[in-house]
Amino acid sequence: MKTCKVILFWLLISAAALPTLAQGISAPKYSNDFLSIGVGARALAMGGVQAAVANDVTAAFWNPAGLLHIKKPFQASLMHSEYFGGVANYDYAGIAAKLDQSGVIGFSLIRMGIDNIPDTRLLIAPDGSVNYNNVGSFADASYAFLLSYARESSLLKGLKGGANLKIIHRTAGAFANAWGFGLDVGAQLQRGKWWLGVVGRDITSTFNVWNYNSESVFEIFSQTGNQIPTNAIELTLPRIVADAAHEIPLGENMGAVLTAGFTFTTDGKRNTLLRTDVISADIQAGMEWHYKQTFFLRGGVGNFQRLQNFDKSYYTQMQPSFGLGFRILNFQIDYALANALRSDAVLYSHVFSLRGDFEKAKTDKQKTKKNKR
């Protein structure tokens, strides 16, 4: 009930603020798009189709309702991957803790950054000479902080709900920075071997307030004819994810999960198979096979795009992904080969993640009681 009140309060505040902030707001496509990559090698190997099957600490990102599936008092996960031939680093850390039998809280940190970008503004001295000692460096980085809460619903058996309070921070060296705030909500429902999941990301829209240090680029931008940036508010519009999954037993020791769904974006027409001037929809599907819940093989496909050749003909491009995982004691290691193939090139990223389950530290009283037994 408290979670519902917080969500309702946020919705009312956002609705009231929109008319006041309407001027000077832009809502570009792919705003905060670093968050569309996802976290966890398991999820990325399955094509990011997780709204219905997210069941560990990474559910804080995919569907916060899935945090209720963690079995131990604490669960933590780390992930690292590189993109564009190692130019960009993408890192994630998350932790979740059970509050009681029907409530879980989580905290996540995501960073995507390009480090050591050369700063050549002072390369050419006023006298026209070139001095490489004046070349510095800066980083372009995007951060997301997620505070998550999930709770079992008392209205319907098997229904789980959750929400994220999301804080965004983006920096481009000393030239610009932004702070953003938003809200995600999600729900999962299980009926026998069927699972359903729905997530509203940036459900109230996420407001990114940009501040530019125009003085640092004014002279160079003026000489090159570039537009001098001014402070502005950037809006990340909502997207809705709806997935369904089915569990298939394959004997006593094996099983599989098949999942598929849609991601609906509201920032205008994209190069997806289903699109309108207002809403576009991407299709994705994934699977996971396991042996004794110890060894896992995974695959997925998504990001279907309708692209145009130079001769004006069209072709469809998709991105499959693959991966595997291994669990030993309370730890699980997962690997994903994401963004595996394209029609015109071979582009891939290696993703590794580690997950661990932890018990609460026992007090001296509990240790004494155990020894007496």
Domains contained in the chain, CATH given: 2-372 (2.40.160.40)
Q: What is the mean pLDDT of residues 10-24?
A: 44
| Total residue length of the chain | 373
Kindly indicate the confidence band of residue 297, based on its pLDDT and cuts at 50, 70 and 90.
very high
Per-residue confidence (pLDDT) for residue 17, from 0 to 100: 43
pLDDT digits (tens, 9 = 90+) for 156-184: 888 999 999 999 999 988 888 999 999 99
Q: How confident is the model at residue 347 (pLDDT cuts 50, 70, 90)?
A: low
Give Cβ neighbours of residue 92 (< 8 Å, ≥ 6 apart). Answer: 39, 40, 58, 61, 77, 78, 79, 80, 108, 109, 110, 111, 353
CA-closest candidate to residue 245, choices 47, 77, 37, 103: 47
pLDDT tier at 54, thresholds 50, 70, 90: very high
Average pLDDT over residues 240-245: 96
Phi-psi group of 221: left, alpha or beta (phi > 0 → left; psi -120 to 50 → alpha; rest → beta): alpha
**Average model confidence (pLDDT) across the chain:** 85
Q: Identify the pLDDT of residue 301.
A: 92
DSSP state string for 292-360 = TTTEEEEEEEEEEEEEE-TTS-EEEEEEEEEEEEEEETTEEEEEEEES---SS----EEEEEEEEEEPP
State the pLDDT at residue 364. Answer: 52
What does the CA dihedral 64, 70, 72, 75 come to, rounded to 10 degrees? -50
Helices (H), the chain: 2-21, 41-45, 59-62, 218-224, 364-372
More confident residue, 310 or 222: 310
Give percent above pLDDT 70 in the chain.
84
pLDDT bracket for residue 31 (50, 70, 90): confident
Predicted local distance difference test score (pLDDT) of residue 6 = 47
Residue 354 CB neighbour total at 10 angstroms? 14
Tell me the three state secondary structure of residue 371. Answer: helix
pLDDT value for 9: 47
| Position 346 pLDDT exceeds 60 | no
Instruction: Give the Cβ contact number of residue 154 at 10 Å.
Output: 9
Tell me what the mean pLDDT of segment 352-356 comes to: 95
pLDDT digits (tens, 9 = 90+) for 75-88: 999 999 988 777 88
DSSP code of residue 154: S
Give the predicted TM-score (pTM) of the model: 0.83
Distance between CA atoms of residues 195 and 109, nearest Å: 27
**Given this model, what pLDDT does residue 175 score?**
86
In angstroms, the CA 176 to CA 167 distance is: 17
Number of H helices, E strands in the chain: 5, 18
Using DSSP's 3-state secondary structure scheme, residue 215 falls into helix
Confidence of residue 15 (pLDDT cuts 50, 70, 90): very low
Is the pLDDT reported for residue 1 higher than 70? no
Return the pLDDT at 25.
65
Task: Determine the pLDDT at residue 362.
Answer: 61
pLDDT at 336: 95
Q: How many CB atoms lie within 10 A of CB 33?
A: 13
Whether residue 127 has pLDDT greater than 60: yes
User: Distance between CA 373 and CA 371 in Å, rounded?
Assistant: 5
Average pLDDT over residues 95-115: 93
Band of pLDDT at residue 361, cut at 50, 70 and 90: low
Mean pLDDT confidence for 26-45: 87
